[in-house]
Structure 1
Amino acid sequence: MTVAAPSAAPAETAAPAARARWQPWALAAICAAAGALYAWRIGGGQLGNSYYSAAVKSMTGSFSNFLFGSFDPYGVFTVDKPPMSLWPQAVSVLIFGFHGWSLLLPQVLEGVAAVFLLHRTVRLWAGENAALLAALFLALTPITVAINRDNNPDTLLVLLLIAAAYAFTRSVQSDTSRTRWLLWCAFFVGCGFVTKMMQAWIVLPGFALAYFVGTSAPVKRRLLDLLGAAVVLLGSSFWWTALHDLWPGSKPYMGGSTDGTALNLIFGYNGFGRIFGGEGNFGPGHRPGGALPGGLDLPAGTAPPSGGPGGFELPPGGGGMFGGETGLGRMFSSQVGGQISWLLPLALLVLVAVAVRGIRRKHPGDLARRAGWFAWGSWLLVTGVVFSYAQGIWHPYYTTMLAPAIAAICAAGLVGFWREYRHGSAWLLLPAGVALTAGWAFVLANRDPSWHGWTRWAVLAVGVVAVVALVAGKLVRQAVFTRASLVLTIVTLLLVPTVWSTATAATGESMGGMPSAGPSEFGGMRFPGGTHKPGRGMADLMNGKLSAEQQRILAYAKQHSGGTAITLAVAGPAMTASSFVIGSDETVIGMGGFLGSDDSPSVGQLQQWTAEGKLKFVLGTTGTRGMGGGAEEKRQEWIKQHCTVVDPAAYGGKTAAAEPGPMGGAQTLYQCHA
């Protein structure tokens, strides 16, 4: 079978100048379509993830805030990631002003760049036709469309990892600049680390193994190259960590950490905590007993909410707070399958065929081609296994990291299957792959027929016709069947994902911190009332809009603060404070980081600020238990002891009990005293 044989590189790779005239135009059309999907209506008043959007606005206020990614304008604490993905957004806001489209424009450009660069990478490895297919598959992956319309860090992470794959591919195809390109590969992975920490490192074992088996250099040279790449990797990964932790002057507390350092965050909450649970990640058996943001319900079939109004508990052994049950079936589950798994069965079939062919071969064949299969295959398999068994907080949109590997493997596999269909003995692989993909698309589309349910019957019909055409074309050997079967094959593979992607873009809606495509929002969770859409309060929260009550509270605090450095401190998860940061130009700070659990500001800081006249008003949340744990409880106790409730009548507001906060409970304004 041609697809599995690591044979000589195709003619397109050896002589790109011989490409057909239509191929560059096809690439341009694919990139243009991707840009249209990612950019359509992004300026419709939506701000993506308000947590990051608030930080971007704060980062434009000072160099320190920009450098460290401060969530608030006063520089109290950072977001719970390094700020590399936010830097382009902050630059865009500085140039164009703070708008939804200026926030998301860098994401659109990064998404299109990823499509283009994947084409260039696959072209080096498997030829022009496979490269065009890979670019098309990536551009139309539903979760990729959704994430590129949001401002989470995954868009930049995917671009940097594709850049690493490009550099790796150049390294195994060159004898003179092998080491230089490998070092570039390590550098781009390191930049991915400064974007989303240890998630970027998941591809490292596969790249290292692929380089070792994919070059003919002496073993000693290969080991030295890998050692040099490790040095570059560590330097490019940890420079920002060292900068933050060793900074001699004042700096924001590292959000998500337990001691204010970036190193703690890397190996704690954002590292092993995501894999094994704990460290604030709600692992198996964890029962926070607090309010789930926005009052979301758990997916059907899981344990009912408990712990008071808005409280919840995870199903025993469930882990993965938003991504459903752990295990090998997670990538195909109702929460995740419609986001990424459309071509996953085909990709696995291709890898099995490649592995079988490789075992049967007596000679290694082309090393660079074999290295490509190792690199892309390990990217898919290792990442898929890590995601499937992650016990901590894990969101379905993380799966966009699988999209480049699925696209590259399926594209190269289909080209090989087609060659085998035309000239080989294993010609049934192509119709089998089409039938498998059509059947799985039917299953996914049938899970919620209310969302473009017609596609399940359309893909089934087109898939049957495609398989019949493939078989007929092989038996009767007529050119008309061959051409028709090729078109029908592509339509079958992309019909439903294209509809989902287009519908996701056409709605122009943003799901804030948890972007998703298709009918199931927030990874299978539901808003109150059993709907998939947030109520007005939660929608305003996600888009950084202040309610009339919040506007009156802020105006009162400003009027009576006496010119304090901090106009208002907002207790609870950071999303509660994000609306004040986004919706005003006042110096408003959050308390406790993303979940409200960070020891920032500490009780000592609150006491000092109050004594120095820097802080006078605190907006607290009562009537529900938060998720902050001990640090939050200490701040609440300090507020009770040092602050008094401001009568809502003083600012023309409602009684505290009548004004529920967007994250649950009731918002109460306090005036604090030294």
Structure 2
Amino acid sequence: MVTFSFMAGIFHAYYTVALAPAVAAVVAIGAKEAWDARSRLLGSVTLAAATGLAACWSFVLLSRSADFVPWLKWLVIVVGLTAAVLLLVIDKIHAKAVPAVVAAALAASLAGPAAYSLQTVSTGHTGSIVTAGPTVAGANGGPGGQGGPGGQGGPGGQGGQMGTPPQQGTGTTGTGTGTTGNTGTTGGTGTTGTGTTDGTGRGTGGGMGGLLDASEASPAVVAALQANASSYTWAAAAVGSQNAAGLQLSSGEAVMAIGGFNGTDPSPTLAQFQAYVTSGQIHYLLASSGAGGQSGSGTASQILAWAKANYTQVTIGSQTFYDFTQPLTSGTASSTATS
């Protein structure tokens, strides 16, 4: 929690899901210990306080989405506070009423999260920054919300691509193309971003373009990746995880993401990638960025340049790949078309 509260740069609210297992364990252990000590003041007060706070916080969160099951927040607060009061005197009430009090406390504590979970799984989501529950007032950071900061390798501009060396700039209005300011870099042409930048590299109305939207492979590409896929560790490789994700989700075959999320990490190295190719572990390398948008830098660029110099380009559907089963030889065309 402290790390997430003070970290700078790119941050997405869904990162906090990493806290869920630890929070669940602490709550379960604490509830068990408090229940065992319910006949003592410390135990009963702990149970009552936890139930009351859970109900109040659920009421606050449910109030942020006024149109989502509006009666639920009132049910939660009334049942939760009633259960909290009864938990204070749990050792004095009739034994037959104890299960009802416990059930009420659990229901009040879990009704809000359960409702958000049901809403989440019943609603289609796209993109990389998905959030739980209904739309709430003041939310940002999701698709169509505030973009990440530019510069220092962060996404530049609304709908922009990843920044490299810092340069000064000013924000401009655009519909997918933006420039960043301060330590940002010139943003690339985005695929979904719209709105304006504020001169600091933050998109105020659009998403982060190709970084957040995996393209859907055409039937021709899917067929090519699936053909003889069992002979390879990776049916293909692509720069950036989103490009790789689009191919993998469409084909159901393993696709290597070169350079991590945005293609700028030095993994795998050129030597490692060459070894994979030489040992026949990779069939294709995506040469055209398509809707994914990332072209990478550094190691990724070296890999692409090496593939271009040594292997045949094939066009499959609307995308271009390097086919590692077709090395270039003198007199071999550098580009061929495949239906």
Provide TM-score, normalisation by structure 2.
0.52
Contact 1:609 1:615 in 2 (8 A): yes
* Residues 1:615 and 1:499: Cα distance change in structure 2 (over 3 Å): closer
Give, in angstroms, the shift of residue 620 of structure 1.
1.7
Letter in 1 for 2:300: E
Partner Cα distance (1:615, 1:468) in 2: 64
Is 1:406 equivalent to 2:49 in the alignment? no
Q: Is the strand fraction higher in 1 or 2?
A: 2
Give SS of 1:526's match.
coil
Alignment check: 8 A CA contact 1:572 1:591 kept:
yes
Post-superposition shift, 1:431? 4.0
Q: Which runs of 5+ in 1 are unaligned?
A: 1-274, 277-282, 285-315, 324-334, 337-394, 655-666
Q: Does 1:396 align with 2:48?
A: no
Q: 1:449 to 1:673 in 2, by over 3 A?
A: farther
* Counterparts in 2 of 1:548 and 1:512: CA distance versus 1, 3 Å: same
Aligned residue-pair number: 254
Shift of the 480–601 alpha-carbon distance from structure 1 to 2, 3 Å rule, reads closer
CA distance in 2, matches of 1:617, 1:490: 53
**Are the counterparts in 2 of residues 603 and 634 from structure 1 also a CA contact under 8 Å?**
no
1:632 aligns with 2:322: no
SS at match of 1:419: coil
Structure 2 residue aligned with 1:454: 71
Residues 182-581 of structure 1 correspond to what in structure 2 (within 5 A)? 318-319=8-9, 321-323=10-12, 335=13, 395-402=15-22, 403-416=24-37, 418-420=38-40, 424=41, 430-467=47-84, 479=94, 483=98, 485-504=101-120, 507=122, 517-519=132-134, 525-528=141-144, 546-548=217-219, 550-551=221-222, 554=225, 569-578=236-245, 580=247
The whole-number CA distance in structure 2 between the counterparts of 1:478 and 1:613 is 72
Structure-1 residue corresponding to 2:328: 673
Residue in 1 aligned with 2:163?
Answer: none
Of 485-494 and 403-412, more deviation after overlay is shown by 485-494
C-alpha separation between the residues in 1 aligned to 2:280 and 2:106?
67
TM superposition shift of 1:527 = 2.4
Whole-Å Cα distance in 2 between the matches of residues 616 and 425 of structure 1? 64
Report the CA distance shift for 1:419/1:499 in structure 2 as closer, same or farther (over 3 A).
farther
Alpha-carbon distance, 1:459 to partner: 0.9
1:590 aligns to what?
Answer: 256
Distance 1:585 1:468 in 2: 54
Distance in 2, matches of 1:567 and 1:415, equals 54
> SS of the counterpart of 1:409?
helix
> Is 1:602 matched with 2:267?
no
Contact 1:434 1:463 survives alignment (8 Å):
yes
Cα distance in 1 for partners of 2:249, 2:8 equals 35
Cα distance in 1, alignment partners of residues 94 and 7 from structure 2? 55
Change (3 A) 1:565 1:410: closer
| Cα deviation, residue 630, structure 1 | 1.8
**Contact 2:239–2:286 at 8 Å: present in 1 too?**
no
Structure with greater contact order relative to length (CA < 8 Å, sep ≥ 6): 1
Q: Distance between the aligned counterparts of 2:34 and 2:27, measured in 1? A: 10
Quote how far apart the aligned CAs of 1:448 are.
3.0
Residues 483-502 of structure 1 deviation map (CA, whole Å, 9 limit, x = unaligned): 46555334333332333345
Letter of the 2:219 counterpart: A
* Cα distance in structure 2, aligned partners of 1:467 and 1:634: 63
Per-residue CA deviation, residues 264-286 of structure 1 (Å, 9 max, x unaligned), is: xxxxxxxxxxx99xxxxxx99xx
Q: Distance in 2 between matches of 1:401 and 1:446?
A: 25
Check the 8 A contact 2:35/2:43 in 1, yes or no.
no
- Where structure 2 has 5 or more consecutive residues not aligned to the other structure, the ranges are 147-191, 193-206, 330-339
Alpha-carbon distance, 1:580 to partner: 4.7
| TM-superposed deviation, 1:399 | 1.8
* Distance in 2, Cα, partners of 1:566 & 1:488: 52
CA RMSD of aligned residues (A): 5.3
User: Residue 603 of structure 1 contacts residue 638 of structure 1 at CA under 8 Å; is this kept in 2?
Assistant: no
Q: Compute the displacement of 1:632 (Å).
A: 0.8
Deviation at 1:409, TM superposition (A): 0.8
Amino acid at match of 2:107: V
1:122-133 pair list within 5 angstroms: none
